[in-house]
Amino acid sequence: MRVELDGTGLELDESYLDADEETIRAQVREYERGDRTAFDLSVAYPDSFTGRVMRAMSEIPYGETRTYGELAAALETSPVAVGQACGRNPVPLVVPCHRVVGADGSLVGFSGEGGVEQKRRLLAAEASGRQTELAAFE
């Protein structure tokens, strides 16, 4: 299903979410307004490496980031493999792949229509005006 977020489209594969379309859309709108910091949706994680990476991404708190390398170390794999799995995330935003950044804090890829610029907007919105965090994404 396609959802609109900050004027840009985002594809979510609702078959991975245990919720009806209206509930999913309502939670995305709440997130966009800043009224929601976590999605209350049950995710069916695949029984695969991508599923392991998705579970690790889902543990990254709102307003925080982790590097591909940090996730790779926790999963005993390579940062490149983590990046590839992030790109296969069927429910971006709900499973926050936008919170995964390069080793130097750089924004390297995002599967949403807006790409890195959309990722930048999501992280800036989550930073809630904390100037030190915002500066890292400029």
Active site residues: 97
Sequence-ordered alpha helix ranges (H) in 13-137: 21-33, 49-58, 68-75, 79-87, 115-127, 131-135
From residue 137, give the alpha-carbon distance in Å to each of 19, 26, 82, 104, 129: 33, 28, 21, 11, 12
